[in-house]
Structure 1
Amino acid sequence: MRARFSFLALLLLAGALLPLGGCGFRPLYGESGAAGGATTVSRLSEIEVVVAENTIGRELKYNLLDSLSADGNTPVSPLYRLILQPRGYTQNVAIQQDAAVTRANFVLVVPFTLNSTATGKPIFKSTARARSSYNRVESEFANLSASQDAQKRVAEAVAADIKLQVSVFFDRQASQDGAIVQ
């Protein structure tokens, strides 16, 4: 009886998953590209990241390089150039009656443009943003440490969002054209 129930459950599961093959579902970071073209993963590894050389810029750049390519390095001859223009600011969100701030948000807004290195023209533009909260206390060292930690968390979140947006762009281009714009 139990074996029969397991068989029916397996059969029901297979029947439920069968329509996914017909609807065009395929993983975003799959091994084969649309219409036999390049994969999203291989296109991501051909991106050079350009950003201002400051603390938040370096955090963004190295988080992106780590997630875009297997070795975390800039490609030797990139097909694409990703230009980032980060703007970060702090918002005081919990202010006591004596004007002491006890909680703050660090907000990072990053407009970015993906350019083809062959033509120099932009092929995709968007904006990524993230926010992280941290407590403020009497110790200035603790406040500085908490602020830097919030900036790192926000840079990681924005880098992940940029990677996702660019991946979806490449995937949609491959689906529409059968090949990715260069």
Structure 2
Amino acid sequence: MGNRGRKQGNMVVKNTFFFIVFIGICLAAAACGFQPLYSHSGKANASALGAVKILKIKNRSGQKLRSYLLERLSPGQIQRKKIYSLQVQISETKSNLNIRKDGSATRAILSISAGFILINNANGSKFKGNVWSKSSYNALDSEFATLSAENDARNRALRTIAEEIRRRVATALKNPAIFSKPIRPPNDPGK
């Protein structure tokens, strides 16, 4: 019985130690100004995201990406003055894997990359980034099933890209110092 009591006592000491360390980390994070990006109290950030105008993106995948971005940046918000503009360009590549002897593929990977520029409409400063996502799908004997699987893979990749762009835009709006300053032409004396 004595050995069992000693083990329980050690467990209490360990748990207390980890609790104290956890509290210390929380206090240190609060002292350095840490704020969770997705906190519900950050309504100012949600308001800033709603001030981003998402410009049109070429082709069908671009239209879908724009829809996903609209859902994430300004869901259900009333139209308001757009302080920022978001330009996005996407490119898509497909590579076949698991090639059969007859040359047909049984698996494929769809890679989508997006370059984006967030522009402050007031002063022209920019924040640039690149995002990519890969999604795989089965290439089946049925052409319809393969096209459905490819479209599903495309939608998954575009949702991932939209979420990553949203995260980066939110970070940029919280830290305006990371925007690059606009470059003036050499003959511009500066206004």
TM-score class, shorter-chain normalisation, is: 0.7 to 0.9
Does residue 152 in structure 1 map to residue 155 in structure 2? yes
Q: Is the 8 A contact 2:58 2:89 kept in 1?
A: no
Tell me, in whole angstroms, the C-alpha distance in 2 between the residues paired with 1:28 and 1:132.
26
Following superposition, the deviation at residue 117 of structure 1 comes to 2.4
Q: Is the 8 A contact 1:104 1:136 kept in 2?
A: yes
* 1:35 corresponding residue in structure 2: none
Does residue 59 in structure 1 map to residue 64 in structure 2? yes
Tell me, in whole angstroms, the C-alpha distance in 2 between the residues paired with 1:85 and 1:53.
7
The one of 86, 91, 97 equivalent to 2:90 is: 86
Q: 1:115 and 1:9, CA in 2 relative to 1: closer, same or farther beyond 3 A?
A: same
Does residue 112 in structure 1 map to residue 116 in structure 2? yes
TM-score by length of 2: 0.75
Does residue 22 in structure 1 map to residue 46 in structure 2? no
Q: 1:47 and 1:124, CA in 2 relative to 1: closer, same or farther beyond 3 A?
A: same
Residue aligned with 1:137, SS:
coil
Following superposition, the deviation at residue 88 of structure 1 comes to 1.1
TM-score by length of 1: 0.79
* 1:70 corresponding residue in structure 2: 75
* 1:163 corresponding residue in structure 2: 166
Structure 1 counterpart of 2:38, which letter? Y
Could you say which structure has the larger radius of gyration? 2
Following superposition, the deviation at residue 11 of structure 1 comes to 6.5
Structure 1 regions of 5+ residues with no counterpart? 33-37
RMSD of equivalent CA atoms = 2.8
The total of aligned residue pairs comes to: 167
Following superposition, the deviation at residue 52 of structure 1 comes to 2.7
Q: Deviations over 1:127-174 (max 9, x none)?
A: 11101000001100001100110110011000011111111212222x
